[in-house]
Amino acid sequence: MYFYERFCLWLGHLKLSRVIFMVSVLLFIVPLFTHYSLSKYAESGTKTDNPMRYSLEALGDISTKNAADLKMRIEEMLRIRASISTELRELEAKRGRLQVEAAAASTKAESAKAMHLRAAAELQLLRVSADQARLEQLEAIRRDSPQLAPPLQILPSRPPPVLPAIAPTSEVHCRMFSCFDHSRCSLTSGFSVYLYDPDVFVPLAGAEVDGFLKTTLRQTLGYNTHITRNPNEACVYLVIVGESFPFEKTSTSTIDTYKLLLNETAIKNLPFWGGDGRNHILINMARRELSVGSGDAFRGTSIGRAMVAQSTFTHDQFRPGFDIITPPALGPPGGDVWADCAPIAPARRKYLLSFQGSQTPPIGFDKDVDSSLIEILQKMVKSAPATDLFLLQFECDPTVEKRAVQAIGDWALCGTDRSRRAVLRDSTFALILAPADRTYTSTALLQARLYEALRSGAIPVLLGGDRIRLPYEEVLDWRRAVLSLPRARVVELHFLLRALGDADLLALRRQGRVLWERYLSSVQASVDSLLATLRTRLLIPARPAPPTVGVPAFNESYFPPRLEPPAVEAEPEETLGPLEAPYPSPAYRRNYSVALLHGYESWNDWLDPFALYPQLPWDPPVTSEARFMGSDAGFRPLGAGAGGTGKEFSKALGGDRPREQFTIVILTYEREAMLAAALSRLRGLPYLNKVIVVWNGPSSPSAMATWPESGAPVAVVRPSRNSLNNRFLPYNLIETEAVLCVDDDANLRHDEIVFAFRVWREHRDRIVGFPGRYHAWDLNFNNGFLYNANYSCELSMVLTGAAFIHRYYMWAYWRTLPAAIRDHVDEYLNCEDIAMNFLVSHITRKPPVKVTSRWTFRCPGCPVKLSQDETHLLERNKCIQFFSQVMGYTPLLSTQYRADSVLFKTRISHDKQKCFKFI
């Protein structure tokens, strides 16, 4: 059909040219022929010898006989000329019309050709999508495991039955298998905890629990998700013991000792004691024991099968795997504690080692000879080079401090809290000496020294650590934060301290700080850690982290009607992937395996063992063989496993992970036209699961006449207040691991988005995106880092205006990041992207990944951006410095790496196709 139209058009042009040529020849030849005819006519007349006569006769003949005929011929020729001129004008008009028709036909042919190419691409896309749908159907038929969800609770319905009490001599042998009732704590119980009201149940001899501690514990436990008000469904029962213990004073020689009195009858008469106290936890978080007495509330007291959680234990009293060592209640009730911490850098401080304390020798106990230990330390100070400064004070000033009476040979604290903090902030290492009484495995004073050292950033050096236990040590790896040495190593102490490099010192100090902040810094942190330790011991999953419920911006009776977006220039002529129905990422598949395989990491690296998440960035992949043998459900290998180039690449996701999709979260502020354009650009984007629009304006969106069809479900949510932090709310509407955060004015091509998504799948724990930035050192004032938006061969941030992140980090932004940082973002309406980069680098200790060459995003026709304001950059400088102050260091890491497409500049054969044609 196309060639026939071209032939007809050519034939029309040919006929018109021939007519014009013939008319032109006629107009030129006729006058010449007339003149020639007249000349011949004169010559063919009667000839005479007088030429003049012949001429006159001829002239007379013309004038008399042929004038009328000549006039008629001339008029005829003029008529012919006029007629031909008219025909020429008509032919010219017709030629113009034919040219217009020819141009229209050519345009139509080109359009038909483009439509054919688009239809062929759509057909190919539909074939790929159909193949994927058939695979999904087969996998659904073969699936032999149910889709998992947060575990449903299976709870007991009756209080513990009364059982005979055990003999006091058997209590010391209690372990989880012999003294704990697991039947009340099923794997799906959720670990319900019941708190005895401290105003009603007072297990003390004639005294009440200290009001501050009682109020603080009740309040902090009220925030814990495991607390229940129904004692019949409880797994464990908490009993608060302390702080205002009654003391019985005794005198031995010249040393005054104090015995803490506990009302055994009051404990054993607790309503759910069950005769033997199983599943009960007696909590002693007393603070007075730091100044008076041993702090051991339960020594010599019968407590049945109940667990004990306190700071002071003897070796024969502590039951490993059963009792729990906790820090004393030294910190605030809860909240941010960053202001109490010292910065991590520099690695080396004024004093190499410091210690302040005094000791009262114990009477009648087996003890180490601390005098010889002190002599060795003093010799170490004298023999050290002048560059190594020590501050070792083994006697308190009696005119300043009132020494505590200690019956266990422990080292009392010297000075005030402020003076000790000042010394520790100037110390690289803080010396902690185990008590002279070898029968103690932990004391409240030792735990207090550990607490103060970690808070001030002084690396604890625990001499006698081979017989000392630290808080929550069954889940916390203290080897990464504390140097624990036997006392025999004291002669090698100086050598060891000098052998550690700056990187090791900073790693120890950083880990000590994060452990202190997360598990010891406040009463709430300590209580939450106590319950999480016991829950981890029982292999019970944590409660699911509650998502944020997205409140619809439109009421239930109205939603903008869909509008098919206008035809725009198609994406580069390549297939980017199949169009599939929304497919959520499988959730809660590792409810019972996270604690088994990643229990260590959740406590020591990720720093969030307190909640269960639907997915984690660190979920392990299967082995390569398993993708084809037995565990192949959901996988989409390239070329069915044979690999391939662009054609095979566009049909499947490939990689070591099952198929998945991503969610786009768009933050907008009352820019409906720009939002509509952003949504229309998403039409036909592969692997798109859902679009969530966070309407950040003070008023509801207007009832727009039309809503552009993006090809995926669109949800518009309106947060309770205007905040840039809303970009990272963990909405319940998000059902995929991958989340693409974009601004409403970010114009990304489909191939760029798909490429970034593929890169993110291999770097799931990092930020993967387009606009790179750098934290540059302030060369002028040397007082911190500045925000650098210039081109640089290194980068340390990828802005979340166009970046992929894992869904988990949206929870971590609200649960792990200090609240002071989010408050700073709200105050300046800026820097939420820097905060997310700080968080991810802090957790992973890895830099982000930048993809392709995009650096900034242009928006023609958009109003002037906030980011173009000079004050915007100044505020971002302040953000980096403030965030570093809050976190104690700058967690950002530099990278010189950028991800580009495989076969980007590779020359390949004509029958092969690159992974991405234009990337």
Computed over its alpha carbons, how large is the radius of gyration of the chain? 44
Higher pLDDT, 77 or 769: 769
Query: Are both 134 and 261 inside the same structural domain?
Result: no
Using an 8 Å Cβ cutoff, are 664 and 646 in contact?
A: no
Residues in Cβ contact with 641 at an 8 Å cutoff, skipping those fewer than 6 apart: 627, 628
- Residue 66 confidence (pLDDT): 73
Residue 257 banded pLDDT, cuts 50, 70, 90: very low
Query: Are both 196 and 283 inside the same structural domain?
Result: yes
Q: How many structural domains are present in the chain?
A: 4
Q: Of 521, 555, 583, which residue is a domain's last?
A: 521
Q: What percent of the chain has pLDDT over 90?
A: 50
H helices of 705-864, where?
Answer: 750-762, 808-815, 819-828, 832-844
Mean pLDDT of 70-88: 87
Q: Is a pLDDT exceeding 50 seen at residue 253?
A: no
Q: What angle do the packed helices 67-142 and 2-43 form, to 10 degrees?
A: 170
Using an 8 Å Cβ cutoff, are 446 and 410 in contact?
A: yes
Mean pLDDT of 375-403: 84
**Sequence-distant contacts of 25-28: CB under 8 A, at least 24 apart:** 26/80, 26/84, 27/81, 27/84
In angstroms, rounded to a whole number, what is the distance separating the alpha carbons of residues 658 and 374? 62
Q: Is a pLDDT exceeding 60 seen at residue 394?
A: yes
Using an 8 Å Cβ cutoff, are 820 and 338 in contact?
A: yes
Which stretch of DSSP H or E encloses residue 264? helix 264-268
- Residue 206 confidence (pLDDT): 45
- Residue 564 confidence (pLDDT): 64
Q: What token pair was written down for 5?
A: 């139209």
Query: Are both 106 and 174 inside the same structural domain?
Result: no
Kindly report, residue by residue over 718-737, the tens digit of the pLDDT: 998 999 999 999 999 999 99
Using an 8 Å Cβ cutoff, are 331 and 370 in contact?
A: no
Residue 833 known to be catalytic: yes
Q: What percent of the chain has pLDDT over 70?
A: 81
Higher pLDDT, 328 or 574: 328
Mean pLDDT of 533-548: 94
- Residue 209 confidence (pLDDT): 65
CA 265, 270, 272 angle in degrees (round to 5)?
Answer: 140
Mean pLDDT of 787-802: 93
In angstroms, rounded to a whole number, what is the distance separating the alpha carbons of residues 797 and 837? 6
- Residue 292 confidence (pLDDT): 46
Q: What token pair was written down for 902?
A: 């495989």
Q: Is a pLDDT exceeding 70 seen at residue 387?
A: yes
Residue 150, domain member (yes or no): no
Q: Which of 85-94, 247-256, 267-276, 297-306 has the lowest mean pLDDT?
A: 247-256
Residue 50, domain member (yes or no): no
- Residue 144 confidence (pLDDT): 59
Closest CA to 376 of 408, 353, 407: 353
Query: Are both 375 and 289 inside the same structural domain?
Result: no
Q: Is a pLDDT exceeding 90 seen at residue 773?
A: yes
Using an 8 Å Cβ cutoff, are 89 and 23 in contact?
A: no
Residue 412 is part of which domain span?
A: 338-521
Residue 724, domain member (yes or no): yes
Q: Which of 278-292, 457-471, 886-900 has the lowest mean pLDDT?
A: 278-292
Q: How far apart are the first and last CA of the chain?
A: 37
Using an 8 Å Cβ cutoff, are 747 and 569 in contact?
A: no
Query: Are both 300 and 354 inside the same structural domain?
Result: no
Q: Could you say which of 410, 608, 744, 833 is catalytic?
A: 833
Q: HSE-up of 69 (CA within 13 Å, CB side)?
A: 8
Helix (H, G, I), strand (E, B) or coil at 283: strand
How much helix, strand and coil, in percent to the nearest 5, is found in the chain? 40, 15, 45
Kindly report, residue by residue over 227-241, the tens digit of the pLDDT: 999 999 999 999 988
Q: Is a pLDDT exceeding 90 seen at residue 420?
A: yes
Q: Is a pLDDT exceeding 80 seen at residue 258?
A: no
- Residue 650 confidence (pLDDT): 87
- If you ran DSSP here, which 8-state letter would residue 161 be given? P
Q: Is a pLDDT exceeding 70 seen at residue 680?
A: yes
Residues in Cβ contact with 48 at an 8 Å cutoff, skipping those fewer than 6 apart: 54
3-state helix/strand/coil string of 382-403: HHCCCCCCEEEECCCCCCCCCC
Query: Are both 180 and 96 inside the same structural domain?
Result: no
Q: Is a pLDDT exceeding 80 seen at residue 741?
A: yes
Helix (H, G, I), strand (E, B) or coil at 769: strand
> pTM of whole model > 0.85?
no
- Residue 698 confidence (pLDDT): 80
Closest CA to 784 of 238, 456, 343, 164: 343
Q: Which of 23-32, 99-108, 206-215, 879-888 has the lowest mean pLDDT?
A: 23-32
Query: Are both 488 and 345 inside the same structural domain?
Result: yes
Using an 8 Å Cβ cutoff, are 159 and 274 in contact?
A: yes
Q: What token pair was written down for 730?
A: 């963990």
CA 408, 413, 418 angle in degrees (round to 5)?
Answer: 160
Q: Of 458, 493, 521, which residue is a domain's last?
A: 521
CA 33, 39, 43 angle in degrees (round to 5)?
Answer: 140
Q: What token pair was written down for 469?
A: 């236990």
Mean pLDDT of 553-575: 61
Which stretch of DSSP H or E encloses residue 739? strand 738-743
- Residue 737 confidence (pLDDT): 97
Mean pLDDT of 574-578: 84
Task: Specify the CATH number for the domain of residue 346.
Answer: 3.40.50.2000
In angstroms, rounded to a whole number, what is the distance separating the alpha carbons of residues 14 and 37? 34
Residue 634, domain member (yes or no): no
Query: Are both 319 and 228 inside the same structural domain?
Result: yes
Using an 8 Å Cβ cutoff, are 893 and 846 in contact?
A: yes
Residue 595, domain member (yes or no): yes
Residues in Cβ contact with 725 at an 8 Å cutoff, skipping those fewer than 6 apart: 813, 822, 825, 826, 832
**Cis omega (within 30 of 0) for bond into 346:** yes
Mean pLDDT of 484-497: 95
Mean pLDDT of 834-854: 95
Where are the extended beta strands (E) located within 304-350?
307-310, 313-314, 324-325
Q: Of 325, 350, 379, which residue is a domain's last?
A: 325
Using an 8 Å Cβ cutoff, are 470 and 478 in contact?
A: yes
Using an 8 Å Cβ cutoff, are 739 and 810 in contact?
A: yes
Residue 781 banded pLDDT, cuts 50, 70, 90: confident
Using an 8 Å Cβ cutoff, are 462 and 485 in contact?
A: yes
State phi, psi for 874 to the nearest 5 degrees: -65, -40
Mean pLDDT of 85-102: 90
Q: Is a pLDDT exceeding 80 seen at residue 150?
A: no
**Cis omega (within 30 of 0) for bond into 333:** no
Burial annotation 593-610 (CB, 10 A radius, 16+ → b, else e): ebbeebeeebbbbbbbbb
Kindly report, residue by residue over 750-759, the tens digit of the pLDDT: 999 999 999 9
Kindly report, residue by residue over 700-722, the tens digit of the pLDDT: 777 655 677 788 899 999 998 99
Where are the extended beta strands (E) located within 438-564?
440-442, 459-463, 483-485, 562-563
Query: Are both 819 and 853 inside the same structural domain?
Result: yes
Q: Is a pLDDT exceeding 50 seen at residue 41?
A: no
- Residue 675 confidence (pLDDT): 87
Q: Is a pLDDT exceeding 50 seen at residue 452?
A: yes
Mean pLDDT of 378-394: 93
Residue 561, domain member (yes or no): no
In angstroms, rounded to a whole number, what is the distance separating the alpha carbons of residues 396 and 404? 11
Residue 759, domain member (yes or no): yes
Query: Are both 94 and 218 inside the same structural domain?
Result: no
Query: Are both 443 and 580 inside the same structural domain?
Result: no
- Residue 47 confidence (pLDDT): 44
Closest CA to 124 of 576, 572, 567: 576
Using an 8 Å Cβ cutoff, are 729 and 706 in contact?
A: no
Q: Is a pLDDT exceeding 60 seen at residue 894?
A: yes
Using an 8 Å Cβ cutoff, are 786 and 775 in contact?
A: yes
- Residue 73 confidence (pLDDT): 84
Average pLDDT in the chain:
84
Query: Are both 126 and 201 inside the same structural domain?
Result: no
Cα separation values, 573 from 112, 114, 120, 576, 835, Å: 16, 10, 11, 9, 38
- Residue 113 confidence (pLDDT): 84
Task: Specify the CATH number for the domain of residue 869.
Answer: 3.90.550.10
Closest CA to 594 of 557, 540, 648: 540
β-partners of residue 788 are 774
Residue 330, domain member (yes or no): no
Residue 290 banded pLDDT, cuts 50, 70, 90: low
Kindly report, residue by residue over 654-668, the tens digit of the pLDDT: 999 999 999 999 999
